Homo-oligomer: A and B are copies of this chain.
Amino acid sequence: MQKEYYSYEIFLKDIKALKEQIEPFNPDTLLAVARGGLTLGHFLAIAMENRQLFTINSIHYDKECKLETVNIFNIPNLCKSKRVVVIDDIADSGETLKLILTQLKEKYPDIDFKVATLFFKPSSLIQPDFTIKEAKGWIDFFWEIDPL
């Protein structure tokens, strides 16, 4: 499979482009998906001067056989939010993002949720509203490379 290293230098350029895409939506809250979306969320929040940066947890549990379950937890308090951008590194299968959006919309039906990612796959169940480029294969994000 094709493998791509996603560097800090490229990331800095992409943050700028992603910020410009998101700005017209004027979100009051940024919601980063842990762990993958945390560094992106941090940088975006600084760039957009947004202090309402929250996170949500998703952990995949590989079950014995083929089944896989995703656990969504630590949903933040969004009572004061109206426009929320859910932030993740990549819309891959899109299963986690789909589950997260379903749970968020159920809990907060009046909030306008949008999705921002760096990468997307055309086969993803959720296509991000704001995104930079198609992932042609495996992405090695700079925060995932073991620096030790």
Residues of A within 8 A of B (CB-CB), count: 31
A34 touches B54 (CB 8 A): yes
Which residues of chain A (70-95) have a CB below 8 Å from chain B?
73-74, 76-77
B35 touches A143 (CB 8 A): no
In the complex, what's the smallest C-beta–C-beta distance from A56 to chain B, in angstroms?
9
A53 touches B77 (CB 8 A): no
Known: A15-B148, A47-B147. 15 other contacts (CB 8 A): A19-B148, A34-B53, A35-B42, A35-B45, A35-B51, A35-B53, A38-B55, A43-B143, A43-B147, A47-B148, A51-B59, A53-B57, A57-B76, A74-B74, A74-B76
Which residues of chain A (27-49) have a CB below 8 Å from chain B?
32, 34-35, 38-39, 41-43, 45-47
Where the two chains meet, the residues of A that have a C-beta atom closer than 8 Å to any C-beta of B are: 8, 12, 15-16, 19, 32, 34-35, 38-39, 41-43, 45-47, 51, 53-55, 57, 59, 73-74, 76-77, 143-144, 146-148
